[in-house]
Structure 1
């Protein structure tokens, strides 16, 4: 199997070709024949990616200074007294 294409596709193809030839592969590729296992793996990847993106964007949001439109002493969201 030739490892051609874009760098990520090339790396994926080379890893699969290498792992198929090994006696004790790092990842047992036969597991991905099961639809339920593949679905669970894709679901876990999507869930953890979403959680990571949410945590990243939340930290950016919380680092921005409070503006008068978003947080005023009268709105009750300011943690400090005015």
Structure 2
């Protein structure tokens, strides 16, 4: 188990405002799992260039949306930076 944590960036209110409760719960579940990966979170999800690091995408509910996150080893944190929900 990793000592990494996760957080919203810029804020929970900004990113989750107006989203269904179930979507927010799924985002938080995924963020918890990403933080548990620790440094390996840099390899999770996808990125257009298929390289580690940088802003990465992770699908929600089979493609009905996605979250974008940044794994920052220096902070030992996964930051949820954007949530896109198509509904």
Whether TM exceeds 0.5 here: the answer is no
Higher helix share: 1
**Bigger Rg over Cα:** 1
